Structure 1
Amino acid sequence: MITIFLQAAASPEGSMMPTMIMMGLMFVGFYFLMIRPQMKKAKQEKSFQETLKVGSRVVTTSGMHGRIAQIQEDGVVIETLSGKLKFEKAAISREFTQQRFPDSAPDDKK
């Protein structure tokens, strides 16, 4: 790659080909390092929001913990200790059901 720069700098009447190749490589790099991961994350968030179900424990983006009481077209009603609150589906950050609170099984110690 350095040789491309040296060749372009050495010849004042040089062609635009090395510059175009570098621009193309930069675009490909930006695509794989920035654009593609963001698209993948957005797709995962959308599929998560579509699979929400009543009774799941969730955490909102603002840190509010609660249980989903109702799912409506325009949002979700979350039941918290202080009452029921309505949030947009996009405000649901993650599910908190089985990962944090597994069913407590009795210990079988002898």
Structure 2
Amino acid sequence: METLVGLLPIILMFVIFYFLLIRPQQKKQKKVQQMQTELQKGDRIITIGGLHGTIFSLDEGTLIVTVQDGIQMKFDRSSVREKLNED
């Protein structure tokens, strides 16, 4: 019984750590992955490097982004940080 009481603070710290740090990060990562799979031609995006552009074409793992003056660049889908709203 004393061993269980001695381990209780460690177990409690792990539970708190899970709910405050690990679980929110997993939810955020899942949301980003869903956004990356739902990308479509014509979507305005921002890459993790800060490049703003519009999706010209895409396939399973890559996409071609059109930036200023019609310049096209090829990126992995995982390099998209966020999709901009059409507002």
CA distance in 1, matches of 2:5, 2:14: 14
Determine the structure 1 residue equivalent to 2:31.
44
- Alignment correspondent of 1:11: none
Match of 1:91 in 2: 79
Counting strand residues as a fraction of each chain, which structure ranks higher?
A: 2
Q: Per-residue displacement from partner, 1:38-95 (whole Å, max 9, x unpaired)?
A: 1101100110001100001111111111100011122111011151100111111111
Runs (4+) of structure 1 moved beyond 2 Å?
A: none
Which has more radius of gyration? Answer: 1
Q: Which residue of 2 aligns with 1:23?
A: 10
Identity %: 31
Task: Provide the rounded CA distance (Å) in 2 between the counterparts of 1:70 and 1:81.
Answer: 16
Unaligned 5+ segments in structure 1 are 1-13, 103-110
Unaligned 5+ runs, structure 2? none
Task: Please give the TM-score of this superposition, normalised by the length of structure 1.
Answer: 0.72
The secondary structure found in structure 2 opposite 1:85 is: strand
Asked if 1:70 corresponds to 2:35, the answer is no
Give the number of equivalent residue pairs. 86
**What is the RMSD computed on CA atoms of the aligned residues?**
1.5
2:2 is paired with a residue whose SS is: coil
TM-score by length of 2: 0.90
Q: Which has the higher contact order (CA 8 A, sep 6+)?
A: 2
Q: Distance in 2 between matches of 1:97 and 1:21?
A: 47
